[in-house]
């Protein structure tokens, strides 16, 4: 056995795996969208397993608050592009495979072109707009999609859009959640997450990809696995064998207007803008940087103020909730001068500390 093949000897030795399954991995093209808590372990193990072509799509940069769960990054990577760093490190981990960096924000005008060259897509995103967009694109493009999500102590995993033996398609994300009001549900940065959960669910996603490519085992298709990290229990929720949705087109992405921390500080110094804190009362009491305060679910009651004269910069813990609220306001009133604080309070205080 040559040294190139020796690294895979333990998985090749598996019953029912062998050289044939390994060759399938080496020929496979896998796209991971999202290089964060889920994307890091999923990418690490898929690269180690010998997936021949591995694409990483993400436009974000590493921040200090990422480091507790995004295990491919270290303090020296703070401020650098996630997709670039991951590809560099995984290329060192496995020089035999092809790493492709997609340093871009996944939007409705690029997602179909992005997924097209790949055999299977892994959804490691952390917001609902991206999750629905990636799901819909994979349905339209006919690509299987491995889904994962984490929040606090609970994780979900599933495989969407598999072709059944009768040529029907298995359920997709919209069969489970037709639509969600994302402004009401905080993400990991806002609501918290135990770091080990990211590793567990990310590894499950990688496992499903390997099973799909090598045609081994039973996929999480037509069902969702729910994992409780506190009780160390998991359960499977069956959905159905086939999808009940008919997705024909993509919802057009809305680019959320943001201002950087430097721009906001200059605007405050010039009295050119107002801050609006849309976090909960408890969060506001713990720490804030001033400004008007009301919670995200009180936006409609304050719409006259938000769409009135002057520039309003909304902020939350991470920039995700404020971004969703700004998008909602712009949908209601396109001329409103509202922006989201890029990175939220976490980025604000990280910059102060540095």
Closest listed residue to residue 100, CA positions, set 34, 54, 157, 166: 54
Residue 201 dihedral angles phi and psi, to the nearest 5°? -70, -40
232: left (phi over 0), alpha (psi -120 to 50) or beta: left
Show pLDDT as tens, one digit a residue, over the chain (354 residues).
455 679 999 999 999 899 999 999 999 999 999 999 999 999 999 999 999 999 999 998 888 888 999 999 999 998 899 999 999 999 999 999 999 999 998 999 999 999 999 999 999 998 888 999 999 999 999 999 999 999 899 999 999 999 999 999 999 999 999 876 555 555 555 567 899 999 999 999 999 999 999 999 999 999 999 999 999 999 999 999 999 999 999 987 777 899 999 999 999 999 999 999 999 999 999 999 999 999 998 999 999 999 999 999 999 988 888 988 998 899 889 999 999 998 899 889 887 554
Domains 3-238 and 258-353 share a fold: no
Q: Which CATH class is domain 258-353?
A: alpha beta
For domain 3-238, give its CATH number from 3.40.50.720, 3.40.50.2300, 3.30.565.10, 3.40.50.300: 3.40.50.720
Contact 11, 206 (CB under 8 A): no
Residues annotated as catalytic (active site), given as ranges: 188, 316
310: left (phi over 0), alpha (psi -120 to 50) or beta: left
Order of all β-strands in the sheet with 120-123:
98-102, 53-57, 29-33, 120-123, 145-151, 154-160, 223-228, 233-238
Sequence ranges of the domains in the chain: 3-238, 258-353
């Amino acid at each position: 056995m040559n040294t190139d093949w020796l690294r895979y000897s333990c998985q090749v030795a598996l019953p029912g795996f062998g050289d044939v399954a390994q060759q399938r991995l080496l020929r496979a093209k896998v796209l991971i969208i999202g290089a964060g808590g889920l994307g890091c372990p999923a990418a690490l193990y898929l690269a180690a397993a010998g997936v021949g072509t591995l694409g990483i799509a993400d436009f974000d940069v590493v921040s200090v608050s990422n480091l507790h769960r995004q295990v491919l990054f270290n303090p020296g990577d703070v401020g650098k592009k996630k997709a670039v760093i991951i590809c560099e490190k995984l290329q060192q981990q496995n020089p035999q495979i092809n790493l492709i960096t997609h340093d871009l924000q996944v939007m409705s005008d690029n997602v179909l072109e992005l997924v097209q060259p790949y055999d299977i897509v892994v959804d490691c995103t952390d917001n609902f707009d991206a999750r629905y967009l990636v799901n819909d694109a994979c349905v339209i493009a006919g690509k299987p999609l491995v889904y994962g999500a984490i929040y606090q102590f609970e994780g979900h995993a599933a495989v969407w859009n598999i072709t059944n033996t009768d040529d029907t398609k298995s359920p997709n994300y919209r069969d489970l959640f037709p639509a969600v009001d994302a402004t009401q549900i905080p993400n990991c940065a806002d609501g918290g997450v135990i770091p080990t959960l990211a590793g567990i669910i990310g590894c499950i996603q990688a496992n499903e990809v390997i099973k799909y490519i090598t045609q081994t085992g039973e996929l999480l298709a037509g069902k969702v696995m729910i994992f409780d990290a506190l009780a160390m229990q998991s359960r499977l929720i069956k959905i159905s064998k086939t999808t009940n949705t008919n997705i024909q087109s993509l919802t057009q992405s809305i680019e959320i207007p943001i201002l950087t921390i430097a721009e906001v500080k200059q605007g405050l110094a010039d009295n050119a803008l107002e801050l609006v804190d849309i976090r909960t009362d408890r969060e506001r009491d713990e720490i804030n940087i001033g400004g008007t305060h009301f919670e995200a679910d009180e936006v409609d009651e304050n719409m006259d103020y938000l769409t009135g004269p002057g520039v309003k910069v909304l902020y939350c813990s991470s920039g995700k909730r404020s971004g969703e609220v700004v998008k909602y306001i712009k949908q209601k009133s396109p001329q409103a001068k509202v922006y989201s604080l890029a990175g939220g309070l976490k980025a604000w205080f990280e910059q102060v500390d540095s």
